[in-house]
Structure 1
Amino acid sequence: MRSLRISTAVALVSLLISGAASAAEPKSLGQFRDWEAFVASDGGGKVCYAVSSPKKSEGKYSKRDPVLLMIARRPADKVYDEASAIAGYQYQKGSRPEFRVGKRRFVAEGAGEVAWPRKKDNRKLVNAMRGGATLELLGTSARGTRTVDEFSLRGVTAALKATARACPSR
């Protein structure tokens, strides 16, 4: 079920990352414990990303789309290991989603369904993920529903190595 949710959302992720409707079907680079790595082409070059779905989700909601945590590489845009999350709902306007790894907290920017750490915190968050066990994503939906999604970080380092090999730095 978990891999089905991830594979169902992979096409959406490719479109979000590339911003192009012509993105090629993503190809799996492998499953790495609780993470999977993919590569796709968006016309401007390769796009690679590691993605995971939550192990546990809390919140009183009646309907919610798939929730994903991902780390993307877009060498043509000089973007390497950019973290983001898809909440499965529209964030409340003005709300500040938050990533937590252990005792470290990273305030995020939220727009639509997507949250990403502040630019100055991205590298710190990804490094914390490499050394952490779990990540919590806290958010508030447009309807005011507070959610907490817990992701396992088992396999994230191996998944990031796979994306770095497929989409190396220029």
Structure 2
Amino acid sequence: MFHSLASAEEVKKIGKFKDWETIVLKNDSELVCFAQSKPVLQSPKNNPREARLFVTFRPNGKIIDEISITAGYEFNKKNSIIARSGKNKYKFDMSQDNFAWMADNKKEKKMIKTMKKGSRIMVTGYNQEGSQTIDHYSLLGFTKAYGSAKKNCS
């Protein structure tokens, strides 16, 4: 995603919705819209990281509702990356460097429904040394940021 940001001719922050924001990237060949948030709490506290949770739309690639995360470090492939909200649990199937995604768009749609109803989601990951991190994301403003990203890319 960030390679697009670097080569984008136009980067527009569309709106800030409580703890979420919507960003649109445009260049000659691609339009990318996403809702993103930073954690409101990170564990361990003594290791601040550039973590983010994204829901992305790429109409040229027919990609909608793509959920991705970065924890600010390269994920350990031996351990699962899990998002939890209430009783709901979602596993990220694919990781590359410091990003992780879900392979199944149906799972992504279920997670988005959970995020619209919830107030917080926690993402657990493991770094290369096997140390666990937990990022707590507020879901306040998610529904509006998601709607704004979807609208700007449809």
TM-score, structure 2 normalization:
0.90
SS in 1 for 2:50: coil
Quick one: distance in 2 between partners of 1:112 and 1:61?
Answer: 22
Runs of 4+ in structure 1 deviating by more than 4 angstroms, as ranges, are: none
Q: Indicate if the aligned counterparts of 2:8 and 2:26 stay in contact, CA closer than 8 A.
A: yes
How far 1:60 moved relative to its partner? 7.0
TM-score, structure 1 normalization:
0.82
Quick one: distance in 1 between partners of 2:42 and 2:145?
Answer: 23
SS in 2 for 1:26: strand
Q: Indicate if the aligned counterparts of 1:60 and 1:145 stay in contact, CA closer than 8 A.
A: no
Q: What per-residue deviation string (whole Å, max 9, x for no partner) do you get for residues 35-83 of structure 1?
A: 0001011432210000100000012765x54000011000000111211
Q: What residue number does 1:156 align with?
A: 142
Q: Indicate if the aligned counterparts of 2:8 and 2:25 stay in contact, CA closer than 8 A.
A: yes
Which amino acid in the other structure matches residue 55 of structure 1? V
Quick one: distance in 2 between partners of 1:14 and 1:42?
Answer: 13
Quick one: distance in 2 between partners of 1:42 and 1:115?
Answer: 24
Which amino acid in the other structure matches residue 159 of structure 1? A
Asked if residue 23 in structure 1 is aligned to residue 21 in structure 2, the reply is no
Q: Indicate if the aligned counterparts of 1:61 and 1:145 stay in contact, CA closer than 8 A.
A: no
Q: What residue number does 1:112 align with?
A: 97
**Structure 1 unaligned runs (5+)?**
1-12
Quick one: distance in 2 between partners of 1:165 and 1:141?
Answer: 35
More helix by share: 1
How far 1:116 moved relative to its partner? 1.8
Quick one: distance in 2 between partners of 1:90 and 1:113?
Answer: 4
Q: Indicate if the aligned counterparts of 2:10 and 2:27 stay in contact, CA closer than 8 A.
A: no
Q: 1:68 aligns with which of 28, 45, 52?
A: 52
Identity %: 32
Which amino acid in the other structure matches residue 111 of structure 1? Q
Quick one: distance in 2 between partners of 1:98 and 1:82?
Answer: 16
More strand by share: 2
Q: What residue number does 1:8 align with?
A: none
Q: 1:79 aligns with which of 63, 84, 91?
A: 63
How far 1:104 moved relative to its partner? 0.3
**Structure 2 unaligned runs (5+)?**
none
